Amino acid sequence: MSNQTFKKRIGCIGAGYVGGPTMAMIAAQCPDYKVTVVDINEKRIAAWLTDDLPIYEPGLLDVVKKARERNLFFSTDVNGAIREAEILFVSVNTPTKTFGEGAGKAADLQYWEETARNIVRVSTSDKIIVEKSTLPVRTADAMARILNANEKGIHFEVASNPEFLAEGSAMEDLLHPDRVLIGTRETEKGLRARQEIAAIYAHWVDPSRIITSNVWSAELSKLVANAFLAQRISSINSISALCEMTEADVGEVANAIGKDRRIGGKFLNASIGYGGSCFKKDILNLVYICENYGLHEVARYWESVVNMNEYQMRRFVLNMVRSMFSTVSRKKIVLLGFAFKANTGDTRESPAIYVARKLLDEHAELIISDPKALDNARAALAGSERPIAFEVDPYRAVQGAHAIAVLTEWEDYRRLDYQKIFDAMTKPAFVFDGRNILDHKRLFEIGFNVFPIGKPGLSHFK
């Protein structure tokens, strides 16, 4: 199709974990729309043009292949894409600020603002600007002011369309979203933008799942959704500590409470703690906003979700050291899994980074294994003064090891031959199951000393 025959031209700035998959899905579902994804990272864009995509996400390559070069294009020509687009999604990263006012909590909006100023500079026609990035409430308002302060007579209508996909299930989440949220102004132009954005998703999403709100509600809903999800994990993790002291089993407790339909069974898996690029960042952002409005109790309430997560990771490492006779110095410890969750190669804010660093501080010898995340693991631990081995094959990784710590819930780890693993390890052999995915009783029978999360350990030492 030539440029003229496409019904609409959509652009997306930022070809990361969100921009890439969301735009691939839109392009695959909307053959009548031209979708161009741009990024300043040349390496990333080059990889999007191959079958070796820059991110690992089940099912992504099939969707990309369906649309690539048909109506889905990847490019480093950011200005060209801005100029051409009628609807421009912005999906750049919004990390936590590391300097000045709000350091450690507030969102660092420099990338977003830089993008907004660039949009003004190069645009020659009216556009709908869609925030896909997760931003603090009222950012759209600030952006609209920057964008509409132009002297070219161009109108930019800023809308918020936060993304709720989870990594590892991104394509499924995009194909069957619980909801698509579109926040716009209630003005004539705002409502027209709302319709245009809804029309994209209506290609494959049931209209009842496309919900609308004002811009601020949409922005806040994104932060609150992540805060609630993380809160559930911190809540069950807090109970896991109590279970370990009292011989209750956190899995049984989670199952019992989850059967109550008001509570529901999801997001109640006790773990070493949540990771990922967004939970901590988004909650801290919420905390910062609350503090700004003088709502200190509200801020402390949400901050405790992050504190509990850090406590859980700390507790896990402490338990490892204590269980292994209060020293791990020069002991070989295999970390099974380094990604922040299964089915992704992403290690951003992975609890494995914390666990690895703490064990290295204790002079443990680490062997890190993961089916998809070893490159990112290497980068995350670069500069460590102590040697670290990286081994994709778990059986090779465990040779002579004193302990295994399961840090990512990869399905394959359930199916390993633990007798073979036990035979290859130094005795006494330990398993610390940070994800509660293994058969603890069976491991104990094989001879392991087993330490799950949220249930008393099974030790051969009395």
Residues with catalytic roles: 278
Please tell me the total number of residues recorded for the chain in this structure: 462
Interface pick for ligand NAD out of 36, 91, 231, 323 (rule CB under 6 A)? 91
Q: CB-wise, 116 or 335, nearer to ligand NAD?
A: 116
Backbone angles phi, psi at 36, to 5 degrees: -120, 125
Question: Which one of 79-87, 88-96, 313-321, 405-413 is the stretch in contact with ligand NAD (CB under 6 A)?
Answer: 88-96
Interface pick for ligand UGA out of 156, 201, 288, 340 (rule CB under 6 A)? 340
Which does residue 341 touch among ligand UGA, ligand NAD, none (CB within 5 to 8 A, set by kind)?
Answer: ligand UGA
> Distance (Å, rounded) from C-alpha 446 to C-alpha 260?
36
Task: State yes or no: residue 163 binds ligand NAD (CB under 6 A).
Answer: yes
Amino acid symbol at 20: G
Q: CB-wise, 33 or 48, nearer to ligand NAD?
A: 48
Interface pick for ligand NAD out of 31, 86, 93, 155 (rule CB under 6 A)? 93
Q: Strand 8-13's sheet: what is its strand order?
A: 72-75, 33-38, 8-13, 87-90, 127-131, 156-160, 180-183, 210-213
Q: CB-wise, 226 or 323, nearer to ligand UGA?
A: 226
Task: State yes or no: residue 347 binds ligand NAD (CB under 6 A).
Answer: no
Structure letter (DSSP) for residue 335:
E
Interface pick for ligand NAD out of 41, 124, 187, 419 (rule CB under 6 A)? 41
Which does residue 19 touch among ligand UGA, ligand NAD, none (CB within 5 to 8 A, set by kind)?
Answer: ligand NAD
The contacts of residue 34 (CB under 8 Å, 6+ apart) are 1, 3, 6, 8, 9, 10, 71, 73
Buried residues in 344-383 as b, exposed as e (16+ CB within 10 A): bbbbbbbbbbbbbebbbebebbbbbbbbbbbebbeebbee
R_g of the chain, CA atoms, integer Å:
24
Instruction: Give how many residues touch ligand UGA by CB under 6 A.
Output: 19
User: Residue 323 has which token pair?
Assistant: 């269980």
Interface pick for ligand NAD out of 12, 13, 182, 450 (rule CB under 6 A)? 13
Which does residue 159 touch among ligand NAD, ligand UGA, none (CB within 5 to 8 A, set by kind)?
Answer: none
Interface pick for ligand UGA out of 226, 231, 343, 449 (rule CB under 6 A)? 226
Q: Is 348 helix (H, G, I), strand (E, B) or coil?
A: coil
Least Cα distance to 446 among 422, 424, 425 occurs for 422
Residue ranges in contact with ligand UGA by CB under 6 A:
134, 163-167, 226, 229, 233, 267-269, 271, 274-276, 278, 340-341
Residue ranges in contact with ligand NAD by CB under 6 A:
13-19, 39-41, 44, 78, 91-94, 111, 114-115, 133-134, 163, 165, 167, 277-278
